[in-house]
Chains A and B, each alone.
Chain A
Amino acid sequence: DSGVTQTPKHLITATGQRVTLRCSPRSGDLSVYWYQQSLDQGLQFLIQYYNGEERAKGNILERFSAQQFPDLHSELNLSSLELGDSALYFCASSAGTGGGSPLHFGNGTRLTVT
């Protein structure tokens, strides 16, 4: 058990809808990362937060947004969903941002857009 909790595990929704994915980091970890894994693709970095502030941004679409709350949990909001947004979304946490701490991954949220 990595200590990172992601909810829900599965989500099925229709095109055009909006969903929220939630992540609770491992106790004591201040950094939260979001990654997307589409079919036959590797882990694509979306965004990172550290102690409530956005620190790094990857290939995140404008339809997607995220935030980290004072209790350090994070939410990834996906709107105007398209079929191509179907993917496994991982959240990971780490103690810091310097690279000397490993990432701890949650079990992922499987999003299916129909």
Chain B
Amino acid sequence: ILNVEQSPQSLHVQEGDSTNFTCSFPSSNFYALHWYRWETAKSPEALFVMTLNGDEKKKGRISATLNTKEGYSYLYIKGSQPEDSATYLCASKTDSWGKFQFGAGTQVVVTP
């Protein structure tokens, strides 16, 4: 994988259901993988910073895992709520300088 890819592009979830989606990134020269939450009319906000293979991070009902050997990360939302509706971006850092490459995002819509 040469670029950062996120799937699916969009998700519609019923309130109370759990969901997950994927970020695939180049597995060579891994430095860091970030997840951001981007609400409409706002700017992206950091959710997780992950740097080690096998990392698992959790913030409330949202958690993320990281596999740097195979180049993927999963984001999980447990018991989705309408306020979880947003676009979730992942960003990969693959050099020692500063370039972060963002995926196109997964748009999550949670309906009551």
A2 touches B97 (CB 8 A): no
15 contacts between A and B (CB under 8 A): A33-B98, A43-B89, A45-B99, A45-B102, A48-B97, A48-B98, A50-B98, A55-B97, A99-B32, A99-B93, A100-B32, A101-B49, A105-B44, A107-B42, A107-B43
Number of A-B contacts (CB under 8 A): 67
A113 on the interface (CB 8 Å rule)? no
Q: How far is the CA of A27 from the CA of B97 in the complex (A)?
A: 21
Residues of A within 8 A of B31 (CB): 98-99
The 8 Å CB contact of A31, one of B42, B98, B101, is B98
Chain A residues packing against B (C-beta within 8 Å): 2, 31, 33, 35, 41-43, 45, 48, 50, 55-58, 90, 92, 97-108
Report the interface size class on chain B: 20 to 34
B104 at the interface (CB under 8 A from A): yes
Q: How far is the CA of A98 from the CA of B31 in the complex (A)?
A: 7
Q: Are A56 and B43 in contact (CB under 8 A)?
A: no
Q: Chain B nearest CB: distance from A90 CB in Å?
A: 7
Contacts of A35 in B (CB 8 A): 102
A51, B99: Cα distance in complex, Å: 15
User: Which residues in A have their C-beta under 8 angstroms from that of B97?
Assistant: 48, 55-56, 97
A106 to B89, CA, bound (A): 16
B101 contact from A2, A45, A57, Cβ within 8 A: A45
Question: Given known contacts A42-B103, A42-B104, A45-B101, what 6 new A-B pairs fall within 8 Å (CB)?
Answer: A31-B98, A45-B99, A48-B99, A99-B51, A100-B49, A102-B46
A52 to B43 alpha-carbon distance, docked (Å): 24
Asked if A97 meets B98 with Cβ closer than 8 Å, knowing A43-B89, A102-B34, the reply is yes
